[in-house]
Amino acid sequence: MPLKVSNHPLVADSLRGLRERSTPPEEFRVLARKLITLLLYEATADLEVRHGTVQTPLAEAAAISVEREVVAIPVLRAGLGLLGPVLELLPRVSVGYIGLERDEETAVARIYYNKLPHLVGKVPLLLDPMLATGGSAAQALDLIKEAGGRNPRMICVVAAPEGVKVLEERHPEVMVYTAALDERLNDKAYIVPGLGDFGDRLFGTSG
């Protein structure tokens, strides 16, 4: 499984703020949008394009258009925090949703919602901020492939080696774009050093 860990200084700067435990939800959301926007540039750099021309006020100019539609697929609920920049930046995008709920005792996720648009001929883009055990991401990718999605890619904020290994075994062709590959999982399957519960911090529901 190809893994692309961004080395962009602006990604690192945004990640610093996301990791800081005193960052309030409103600032956390701003930093998350900045970071995802930058990762999105990297994740879409190889999209197929169509070459043509446009007429400027002065002359004809060569022009490029994105050829294939992207289907953004956030994993509920935390993945919703990654969706905004995708909708704003991509010229052709539709949205699907996958709901996965983690059992805190077993760290295994169950599927409670699955709504995907037509995927054949499109580029599936899985949005899930934390690649921890890899179980949720692998389940979501299973659903994407069952729905006809081919060559999906994934954007996450932070990844753990354990999650990367699971995707390497179950979905070796999937390209993962992340801001950091962290040290490990703790005994509760949380990423260390990580940044806590992304969804709680994003929506201000912690505590």
Active site residues: 102, 106, 197, 200
**Tokens describing residue 65:** 């258009």
Output the six-digit token pair for 126: 């899985």
Cα distance between residue 183 and residue 194, in whole Å = 9
* Whole-Å CA distances, 206 to 21, 69, 104: 11, 36, 15
Q: Are 194 and 182 in contact (CB under 8 A)?
A: yes
Supply the DSSP string of 17-55, one letter for each residue. Answer: HHH-TT--HHHHHHHHHHHHHHHHHHHTTT--EEEEEEE
